[in-house]
Structure 1
Amino acid sequence: MKHTRTRPAALAGSWYPGEAGVLAAEVKRFVATARQTEAPAGMPVVLLAPHAGYVYSGPVAGRGYGLLAGRTYDRVFVLAPPHRYPIARISFPDVDAYATPLGEVAVDRAVCERLGGCPAFDCQPAAHAQEHAEEIQLPFLQTVLAPVPPVVPLLVPRLSDAQRREAAAALGAWCDGRSLFVISTDLTHFGASYGYVPFRTDIPAKLRRLDMGALDAVLAWDARRLLDYGRDTGITMCGLEAAALVLSLPWPAKPRTALIEYARSGDRDNDFTFSVSYAALLACLDPEDAS
């Protein structure tokens, strides 16, 4: 189906392959590494996944996305940080679909319009036009969820506590197990080019400790702990606010969580002069709670 207003793929041919067959084969190779024994029991409702170019973070993302294969959802919320355009409220796009080489993914306009009635949300089309953190997730969704449900792309800036509470209450209508929430985030961005060099010795081990502090807060499903950790350490986790918002939603029960995969770009060449960390983390609800 062709949609009236479609956001064209901005990353095809650079962040991921631009040819449909090559892209499909690459994503299938990534998701094939998933091991179902690593998934928590229950219905997956939240996936934390990285958003770098596939050569760096594709294997990590695939380990998480592969655990969603065969599941069905009414919609997928993709919550990501805004990298290119400053916003003061959570933004949703004005388009009807996002395009990738694998086809178009519809946007759930009804949900966007409903969220637009909440003061914590706004429509800022320019913020979405070139944003990689949303688009990078779509080929994975197109691969593991067939047919792919509509998406609700949300860019989450730094929020006040009041904004977070307001947004969480608005999103709570979809914490029923019929929607999937994807937290699109990388972890520590380390190095002078990122303006973040909190240590200069034993870098791999210290990076892991720093990253695990944030991941442990997510695994514990503790939004305040994550926010405090971000404030106290200055960790350059770009999607920390998106993660804190998802942890703040009124879930019917505390989900079971598991860290599926963790890696750093520095591991590829054993060069940690500059390094970005990536993780895949899954949260599941018991079937009786996911209804």
Structure 2
Amino acid sequence: MEKNSKIYIAGHRGMVGSAIKKHLETAGFQNIITRTSRELDLRQQEPVKAFFEQEKPEYVFLAAAKVGGIVANNTYRAEFLYDNLMIQNNIVHAAYIAGVTKLMFLGSSCIYPKLAPQPMKEEYLLTGELEATNEPYAIAKIAGIKLCDAYRAQYGCNYISVMPTNLYGLNDNYDLNNSHVLPALIRKMHEAKMKDEAEVVVWGSGTPKREFLHADDMAEACIYLMGNYNEEGLVNIGVGKDITIKELALLIKEIVEYKGELVFDASKPDGTPRKLMDVTKLNNLGWQAKIGLKEGIQAVYQDVMQKGF
């Protein structure tokens, strides 16, 4: 990408998209185009096609998606499958018609089988059953990867796919009904601290292990790969280290300075037992994560303290 290249970020107001936009602007890229969901419904084929025909972006970061935690994924199964399929299908095809130079599709670590060997290598895709609670979202993302590969194979499109691990950062979702575990724990403990509550209930047993990557690291990795990766398949983006949910909760408790007790409700679903990315491929391409988990959560909590939830 050149500094004057026309770049479209789909999903620029989300956590990942906003981080990519911020890092591109910091690096001196000035020709960035965006549309809010009100301005352009990405689920509608004709408006998306018209947008690409009019704007003719050279590079596309496809970060737009319907996302959420275990409850949202399991409750709105039809929406998670339909909305995500429509968004990515419309953008990928419109990009092809408009002659986009390069497109990056952003997926999720939930594409891997529930009981995949750990750490998860890129080649483990489609080698086993998915986690049931987020299967519709995972199937949509797998379809996105295969769509990019198919357009590469049939039409010669330079479309690449990246799979981030669990993300956190600025502009995260703190809605307790729809958020992921890290922002949910921050909000729960902060509010319990403000109300001087004696305990905070954490969903699940606390034993599952998860890997967490700051959105700023994710953005840097995406921009780096847009400039340095041009192959089919996918690239994992992560830190290569994980932590149990209990350890995460205790770390957040320390950072928030919550003095009460943590109670783990084992009647709630745990999800996949472990999700650790193998980041050998990414590291060999020349990129490594830089932001430590404690440092990253402290920065996020300070931002929340200033802006609110």
Q: Which has the higher contact order (CA 8 A, sep 6+)?
A: 1
- TM norm structure 1: 0.31
Name the TM-score, length of structure 2 as normaliser.
0.30
Larger Rg: 2
Of Structure 1 and Structure 2, the greater helix share is in 2
